[in-house]
Amino acid sequence: MDELKTLIGELEHEPPHSLARQRLRLAQETTAAPRDRGWRRLLPFGRHTRLDQPLLSGRRLAMGAAVAAVITAGVAVPLLGDADPAYALTKNQDGSINLKVYDFRDPEHLEKELADWGVPADITYLPLGKSCGNNRAPFLKGDDFGATKEELLSSDAAVQARVRERLEKSISFQAIRPRDGITIYPRHIKPGQIAMIEVMENPVTPTVERPGVAWQFSGRLTTGPIEPCKVVADPEAHHIGDATPPPGS
Amino acid sequence: MVTDTSPLVVDSEIITSSLDDPEKFAVLFDRYAAALYRYISFRLGPGLAEDLVGETFLIAFRRRAAYDISYRDARPWLLGIATKLITGHRRTEVSRYRALERQNPAQPVEGPEEAITRDLTAQGSRTVLLNALALLSRGDRDVLLLVAWSDMTYEEAARALDIPVGTVKSRLNRARRKVRHTLGGVNPLEEHDHG
């Protein structure tokens, strides 16, 4: 097929300088795109979450937002099919372990793999729209970062920033972070602590036409014992926010 | 921390970080826009290529959250999106091959006889080839040209076009057979009639 290669060489054109216009077009789109507002969902308390929901049990409130990291991933169309769930976990250079949503589809297998890396874990995988209604396990003291209900529900950017900062300093957040999917930092997990992670994945993949939440997770450390998840409906799970860019972006 | 533009940062990392920081996606444009332009311009001509390069990146950007980051190289993904856009302009593509086919070959004014013969032979196979491309089915042409242009593997082509690897192989075999046939002097119209 040398002839074909020759023909290709003859027919293709060198990119013109005006291609920069297309870069600008992309830049306009990317600048207008909302930044990942996932951090707002790092809290179990969303702005739109009603306080009488099982997710927000009195105990949880009393503990002061003990890190249930909940992030929202994407509103996109899977053009090229689903991710292959067969990938073994890999350890990053800094010792952290990166998990993707497809790793969670086989919770027992994932627990075993994490155990091989020395990370005791309790994994729950649920469809989006469900969640564990019970607290399941004791909270760590260091996860109580003392945010008041008013602060948690505040729409003031400065208050949000302060809450976020405190959240990120909590013990659980050090160990389980919403980064590149979910990243676990074993060095922040002390002996006797268990990484308890609940992943809720949307069985219907969101599309551009029908945007939605692709998946969420909630994770924290606990010393156990861990009770089984009591599955309850979580009608707020599909909420994708108000889609306005955060202040300053 | 490495910078965005460092060639050490793989495409999948750029896509991941663009979820938090959308503007980072432009790094992929800087890496692949020129290549995509060449690919699209060879199939559709320069008139449409520029706009479709922009279109390809906009679609990719909007779908970035679904990108499977176990694939580090985003080029097949982008070429797949571009190919699907080209398919939407397949009439333009076929017309282009037809028009190029009709163009009078530039006759060498003077020169050694051998060179003239060689040029004429090359010109002849070019015409036959253009005709063959115009006659291929859409799916066969996409696979043949994507693989020929990019040298990607069957697996990469399958992923790019979102079709099974077996389909890539069978389309490629069929397309190559047809093109070889025409280059071998068989009337491509007959081939077309039977195919």
B122 and B101 both lie in a single domain: yes
Residues of B with Cβ-Cβ distance to A13 under 8 angstroms: 37-38, 41-42, 45-46, 49
Task: Single out the residue in B61, B88, B115 at which a domain terminates.
Answer: B88
CB A222 within 8 A of CB A194: yes
Least confident of A41-55, A212-226, B142-156: A41-55
Q: Is the pLDDT of residue A108 over 60?
A: yes
Residue range(s) defining the domain that contains residue B133: 91-153+162-195
CATH code (residue B138): 1.10.10
- Cβ of A36 within 8 Å of Cβ of B68? The answer is no
pLDDT value at residue A85: 42
Residues of B with Cβ-Cβ distance to A1 under 8 angstroms: 148, 176, 179
Q: How confident is the model at residue A127 (pLDDT cuts 50, 70, 90)?
A: confident
- Cβ of A13 within 8 Å of Cβ of B49? The answer is yes
- Cβ of A18 within 8 Å of Cβ of B33? The answer is no
DSSP B5: T
For chain B, how many structural domains are there in total?
A: 2
- Cβ of A30 within 8 Å of Cβ of B18? The answer is yes
Which pLDDT tens digit goes with each residue over B161-195? Answer: 999 999 999 999 999 999 888 877 554 444 443 43
Give mean pLDDT, residues A120-131. 88
Task: Single out the residue in B88, B117, B132 at which a domain terminates.
Answer: B88
- Complex ipTM, two decimals? 0.81
B32 and B54 both lie in a single domain: yes
In angstroms, what CA-CA distances link A29 with B58, B83, B155? 7, 22, 31
B143 and B125 both lie in a single domain: yes
Q: Both tokens of residue A189?
A: 């997990």
Q: How confident is the model at residue A166 (pLDDT cuts 50, 70, 90)?
A: confident
% of chain A with per-residue pLDDT over 70 = 64
B39 and B127 both lie in a single domain: no
Counted across chains A and B, CB pairs separated by less than 8 A come out at 143
Higher pLDDT, residue B28 or A84: B28
Higher pLDDT, residue B4 or B115: B115
Give the B window 121-150 contacts with A, CB below 8 Å. 122, 125-126, 129-130, 144-145, 148-149
Least confident of A50-59, B4-13, B55-64: A50-59
pTM: 0.51
B104 and B189 both lie in a single domain: yes
B177 and B119 both lie in a single domain: yes
B123 and B78 both lie in a single domain: no
Q: Is the pLDDT of residue B103 over 60?
A: yes
Which pLDDT tens digit goes with each residue over A45-87? Answer: 333 322 222 232 223 322 333 333 344 443 333 333 344 444 4
B185 and B106 both lie in a single domain: yes
Q: How confident is the model at residue A242 (pLDDT cuts 50, 70, 90)?
A: very low
Q: Is the pLDDT of residue A21 over 80?
A: yes
> DSSP characters for chain A?
-HHHHHHHHHH--PPPGGGHHHHHHHHHHHHHSPP--GGGGGSS--TT--TTSGGG-HHHHHTT--------------TT-PPPTTPPP-B-TTS-EEE-GGGGGSHHHHHHHHHHTT--EEEEEEEBTEEE-S--SPPPGGG-----HHHHH---HHHHHHHHHHHHHSHHHHHEE-SSSEEE-GGG--TT-EEEEEEEE-SS---SSS----EEEEEEEE-S--PPP-EEE-GGGG-----PPPTT-
pLDDT value at residue B38: 96
